[in-house]
Amino acid sequence: MSESEQRLVIVGCGTMGEAILGGLLRAGRVQPGGVVVTSRREEEARRLQGKHGVTAITDNHAACAQGTVALVALKPQRMGEVLDDDAMREALADKLVISIAAGVRIATLQRWLPRSSVIRAMPNTPCLIGEGMTVLAAGPGVDAQARSYARGIFEAVGRVVELEDKHMDAVTSLNGSGPAFAYVILEAFADGGVMMGLPRAVALQIAAQVLQGSARMVLDTGFHPAALKDQVTTPAGSTIAGLLTMEDGRIRSVLARAIQEATRVAGGLGGLDGK
């Protein structure tokens, strides 16, 4: 089946589901008439339908029966409740199912949906502005066409890479939780600017642009961050003084340990069924 013939269902179209939907519509990868979304609340379904022009309903089974591809955007705790169900197994049989639930492994998805092709995806909140990062892990037997379709969904809202399922807990911590860690760093930079006399709004704007520009330098040049850092660090200058102060606070270890701890917690988010 060609991409133009696919009918996408977004199960649980909350914040992330709506961000992905918006990106797909802006990019022209889907048309409103080719999308069905679900919400637990009638009023939210009406809002989604009015805003995006898609079909929005509260019945997950009915929605999945209408679609050819299902993007499941439920919280990890609700995945088993919705997917481990005979009616859902039938509705999703022989279809592609893409899960964005943290901690719910491919083996678990396959156990719930043995007749479906399954792919795990871990996007992050910058998808809301088209600057997301998504990592995909395809289950055994997922063909190239299905993988390409899944990539296309998330390329509409940012960058995409593919890894094995065994890496997805680390991906959840670095990619999913990473923006929160970056916001703490950004806020701390701004606080330092305020302490030295800058207006709060200006300090925040500068700090945000510094982080954005620095990240783009890494992505666009392909240079290692250490090499780019050395370009800014002149002998006896202010940059090296600040860097040494950061090292006094064990900044590298603290940030790396944050990823380590978040990975440990991510591994349990799917509950017993996710292990």
Measured in degrees and rounded to the nearest 5, phi and psi for residue 132 equal: -80, 170
Same domain, 65 and 101: yes
Split into its structural domains, the chain has a count of 2
Same domain, 71 and 187: no
Same domain, 163 and 183: no
pLDDT tens per residue across span 24-83: 999 899 999 999 999 999 999 999 999 999 999 999 999 999 999 999 999 999 999 999
Of the residues 108, 132, 167, which one is the last residue of a structural domain?
167
Same domain, 227 and 155: no
Same domain, 125 and 203: no
In terms of residue numbers, what domain contains 261? 178-266
The CATH code of the domain that includes 80 is 3.40.50.720
pTM over 0.85: yes
pLDDT tens per residue across span 160-189: 999 999 999 999 999 999 999 999 999 999
The model's confidence at residue 231, banded by pLDDT at 50, 70 and 90, is: very high
The model's confidence at residue 213, banded by pLDDT at 50, 70 and 90, is: very high
Burial 81-117 (b: 16+ CB within 10 A, else e): ebbebeebbebbeebbbbbbbbbbbbebbbebbeebb
pLDDT at 271 (0 to 100) = 64
Q: Is 237 helix (H, G, I), strand (E, B) or coil?
A: coil
Of the residues 167, 188, 222, which one is the last residue of a structural domain?
167
